[in-house]
Structure formats: C-alpha cells, structure tokens
Amino acid sequence: MLFLVLASSALVAPPTVAVFGGSGFVGSRVCKALVDCGLSVVSISRAGQPPAGAAAQSWSQRVDWRSADALAPPPIPLPKIDCAVSCVGNMRPSPNWSGFFGLHWDTEVMRRENGEITERIAEAAKRAGASRFVYLSVYSSTKFAYCGALEGYIDGKDRGEAAVRRIFGDANTAFVSPSLIYGGERFPSFGKLYAAVAGSPLIRGQTQFFKALKRRAATGWGPGDAIGEVALTPPCDVDDVVKATVACLLDTIPAEMRQRHTEQQRIENELRLAGGMPGTPEYTYLNVDGTDQIREVAKVAGTQAILAAAAANAKDTEIAEDAEELASGLAEAVAADAPWQSPSAYGSPMEGALMGFKPLLFPWPPGLALFAFFATAVVANKLIIEAGCRRARLGRCDKLEVPETTPPK
C-alpha cells in the first residue's frame, strides 16, 4: 500500500506551459519566470535555443527548447500541454530598402506574422490540450494612433486577438497589451530616462488635461491626438510585462482590479469612438492594457510569492502523462522536416524588436530626436506661459492695434 501511495505521488507533475517565441526578448524572461514558479516549460521559436546570455544560467537547463516556424506547412511539434503563452510578433521593417527615407513596412508580411501566425499557434495549442491562452498584444492607444501608418501590424494583432478568443473562448483568454518595452539589454539607460520624463506629473497632467477638453468637443480623441499620447506614454518595464503575463496565466488578478481596469478601458474607448475609432469594443475578456495597468498588476498580483503559490495550487490538480506518450512527442519533433523560412525570418530571433536590424539607426537617432522634440516643446510651452503671466502682473499686455478702415460708399 505504501508503495502505491509513493508511486501515485511521483506521478504528480507541474502543469506544462508552452511559450511561443520563448527565445525572444520577452519570451525568454517569461520562460524563466514560469520555471521559477515550479512549472514545466516548453519553448517554441525559430531559434530553438535560449538567448546567448541565458544559455549558461541554470533555469535555461529546465526548459524544453524546440525549433519550429509557426508559418511552416507541417504542424507545430508540441507535447501534451496545459496552457500557452504567445510572445510572437513582428514589427521589423522590410529588408528591401536603402537609406533612412526608404524605410517601410511590408503590410502583407505584417498581417501574416502577427495575425495568421497567432491563429496557427492558437490552433496548435488547442490541439495539444491547452485550456488557457495568454497573448502579448499591443496597447490600445497604439492601435488607434497607428492604424494607418502601421496598418499591417495593427490588422495582424487584431486578427490574432480574434483568433485566440474564437478558439479558446473569452473566459480562457487573456491579453497583455504594452506600449514600448524596455529593460535588460534593450534601451537600458534611455528607457529609464524616457520613463521618468514621460511619467512625470507635468507630462501626465498635460495628457489628462487635453483629454478632458476633448471630452467636451464633438471631434473626440482622434488618431492625431493618440499619436501624441503614445509618444508621451511611459514605456513598460520588461519585468512588469512578464509578471503581468504570468499573473494572467495563473489567474491571480483580483476581480475588483479587473472590473476597474475594464471600466477605465470603456471610458477611453468612448473618447476614441467619438474621434472616429471603428468597431464596437467588447469587454468580455481579460485585457491588461497599457503601462499603468501592467504596472499595477505586476505589483499587486505578480509578486513571486503570489505566483509561486498559484503555481503550487495548480500543480496539486495535475497528473503527468505517461512517459511513453512524452517520448513519442519528442520523437515526432526530432523527425519533423527542416523548418520553412517565412519572408521576414532574418536576423537574430528577437520577436517584436527592431534591435539588431540596422545598427546606429535604431534606437538612438530617431529616439533621441523624438525625445528632444517633445522636451523642447514642453519647455517652450512652459516659458511662454510664464512670460505671459509676468506681463499680466506688470500690466504690460499690449493691446492689439486694429487699423481704422473706411467703409466703402
């Protein structure tokens, strides 16, 4: 009897999570966070290996790294899984350009590598037994602001969200929607400076002030307004994005916080609808949208203690599959054909990143110019207001002289 008890307890295994894009900037950190929680992790990416800086770390030895292209004709090789996270996305410019002013995005490639690819990933995860899916999408204000300039990217993200909801249902779907992400080796100093300036009370107050004015205007908050909002939105720390993603996966976000975040999204969308945003927003699924919501979820529901406790609770309810079935899944992965190369499968496997595409072109020159432009505008605006106030106090406000005119006879 004791032998049977010990044998049955040995069969209890942690839930298995598939992380698509697990070799990338965000995906590799999601893999590490899940391993730290005690979960079993399978990474699927084109690279099929950990990032260079993580290969020697102990957590990477506990991840099952697999190479696959989700756009390839053969099915994605997956073992039996319990849930999935997708950090896959492509925002890289087309490789067919020369010079800065030739920079452009291939709309059809963007649609495929953000929309079709997510649809295939969700289908593969469902076939492999996943019951919950978390998708790394994009900030709703970014969608509204750049629905024209980055049409393929935004269309692809919308298609990906729709596919995940259709396949898994709203109750088992969660989206984490960040703006610009910094941290680690990506914008280490610039990101912190940008976050500090954009998150200052002066900048945040300015955005809220103009939104309050627009709520009283018939034009609402248009795409042009949203572009300014996105530029002045603090970027997301990658660690906060990872914590929010795992919190969505393990369902640790309090109900009160979900309701409050949904209400915030509804208010924002009402303003955008008045400004011409197409469609009718729905609020039947979990979406952690933007820097503020991601930061709050990470702080309240994404601490290591909370996530580890939730993972341990999930582990108690899962039983491992037979070892023979797992070996069969591994054999199928090894026997898969050579991965097919999609149109933009070039450069380092940094899903959703421009880093490494054109050294010295991104991020410094455009990023520095953008920062300098907005900093100059804010300082100039403040100086003009202060000068006006001084003139008013000193009584030096010159009256506008209107030349006298003689009405025609």
CA 132 to chain centre: 18
Residues of the chain above pLDDT 70, percent: 73
Please tell me what DSSP assigns to residue 332.
H
Amino acid (1-letter code) at residue 278: P
Q: Does the residue 325 lie in any domain?
A: yes
Place 2 in a pLDDT band, splitting at 50, 70 and 90: very low
Task: Quote the pTM value.
Answer: 0.75
Beta strands in 178-307 (DSSP E): 181-182, 236-237, 286-289
Residue 265 has pLDDT above 90, yes or no: yes
Give 234-247 pLDDT, tens digit per residue: 999 999 999 999 99
Assess if residue 386 is contained within a domain: no
What is the total residue count of the chain? Answer: 409
Among 7-21, 24-38, 251-265, 358-372, the minimum mean pLDDT is found in 358-372
Helix (H, G, I), strand (E, B) or coil at 46: coil
Q: pLDDT tens for residues 358-409?
A: 433 444 555 566 667 667 776 776 677 777 667 666 665 444 444 555 555 5
Q: Which of 177, 165, 90, 157 is nearest to 126 (CA)?
A: 165
CATH code for the domain in which residue 248 is found: 3.40.50.720
Return d(Cα 77, Cα 48) in angstroms, integer: 12
Q: Please tell me the distance from the alpha carbon of residue 154 to that of residue 166, in angstroms, as a whole number.
A: 18
Residue 258, in any domain of the structure? yes
In a domain, 230, yes or no: no
Residue 231 lies in a domain: no
Comparing CA positions, the residue from 214, 243, 245 lying closest to residue 229 is 214
* pLDDT given for residue 357 in this prediction: 40
Segments forming the whole domain that contains residue 115: 12-183+236-335+344-359
pLDDT digits (tens, 9 = 90+) for 94-117: 777 666 566 677 888 889 989 999
Q: Is residue 379 part of a domain?
A: no
Question: How far apart (Å, rounded) are the C-alpha atoms in residues 72 and 87?
Answer: 18
pLDDT of residue 312: 87
Q: Residue 122: inside a domain, yes or no?
A: yes
Cβ contact 96:116 at 8 Å: no
Q: How many domains is the chain built from?
A: 1
Helix or strand or coil: residue 264? helix
C-beta of residue 15 within 8 angstroms of C-beta of residue 39: yes
Top-confidence residue, 368 or 294: 294
**pLDDT given for residue 373 in this prediction:** 67
With beta carbons less than 8 A apart as the criterion, state whether 208 and 151 touch.
no
Q: How many CB atoms lie within 10 A of CB 251?
A: 13
Q: Which residues contact 353 (CB under 8 A, 6 or more apart)?
A: 24, 25, 91, 92, 186
DSSP string for residues in 47-102: S-S--GGGTTSGGGGGEEEEE--TTSSSPP-----SEEEE-----PPPSS--SGGG
**Neighbouring C-alpha atoms within 13 Å toward the C-beta of 350:** 14
Dist CA 20 CA 17 (whole Å): 10
Q: Is residue 154 part of a domain?
A: yes
Beta strands in 163-222 (DSSP E): 173-177, 181-182
